[in-house]
A = this chain, B = another copy of it.
Amino acid sequence: MSDDQHFLTLAAHLSRKGMTSLAGGPFGAVVVKDGHVIAEGWNEVTTGFDPTAHGEVNAIRKACKALNSFSLQGCVIYSSCEPCPMCLGAIYWARLDRLVFANTRWDAAAIGFDDDWIYQEVPKPLPERLIPTLHLPNADAKAVFTEWLSLPNKVPY
């Protein structure tokens, strides 16, 4: 078995563990650095009362805590399913080197999860989105962005 399949199988085992313990949906993920698993995650949306607690987000949070870093540069994430746009965004912000996944967004949609629908929503112009969205410029919000540029001691990311 290739290393990639080995880590995907581990992610699949976590997806089953989370599912059978009724923690949430059937999704698992691991973060790997230098060939070693540094964090495991599984979906905990329904028991954790946290719609952001997907397997990938949980694995990313744990990996960052393990490294005391907000960057996972040099790491790979393996997920039992294609990340939804929320998790894909988290993967970009975490600066992961590589993503490997097994089931697809359409497989997820077929068992009742909205991944594909949200993928269709993200690129839409605001007026076409199904969640009503209003862009309302605000002077205070704009001023804070200007202040950021000259803030001393800031930590860019």
> CA–CA, A153 to B26, complex, Å?
13
Q: How many residues of A contact B (CB 8 A)?
A: 91
State the main secondary structure of chain A at its contact with B: mixed
> CA–CA, A140 to B15, complex, Å?
10
A85 interface neighbour in B8, B89, B149, Cβ under 8 Å: B89
Interface check A37, CB cutoff 8 A: no
Decide if B89 touches A11 in the complex (CB within 8 Å). no
Interface check A35, CB cutoff 8 A: no
Distance to closest chain B CB from A73 (angstroms): 11
A68 interface neighbour in B49, B100, B114, B136, Cβ under 8 Å: B49
Decide if A102 touches B137 in the complex (CB within 8 Å). yes
> CA–CA, A142 to B97, complex, Å?
25
**Which B residues are CB-close (under 8 A) to A69?**
49
**Which B residues are CB-close (under 8 A) to A136?**
4-5, 8, 100-102
Interface check A36, CB cutoff 8 A: no
- With both beta carbons as reference points, the residue of chain B lying nearest to A9 in the complex is identified as B140
Decide if B135 touches A98 in the complex (CB within 8 Å). no
A64 interface neighbour in B5, B50, B123, Cβ under 8 Å: B50
The proximity string for A residues 1-36 relative to B, scoring 1 for CB distances below 8 Å and 0 otherwise, is: 000110011011101100110101110000000000
Decide if A141 touches B111 in the complex (CB within 8 Å). no
Decide if A51 touches B25 in the complex (CB within 8 Å). no
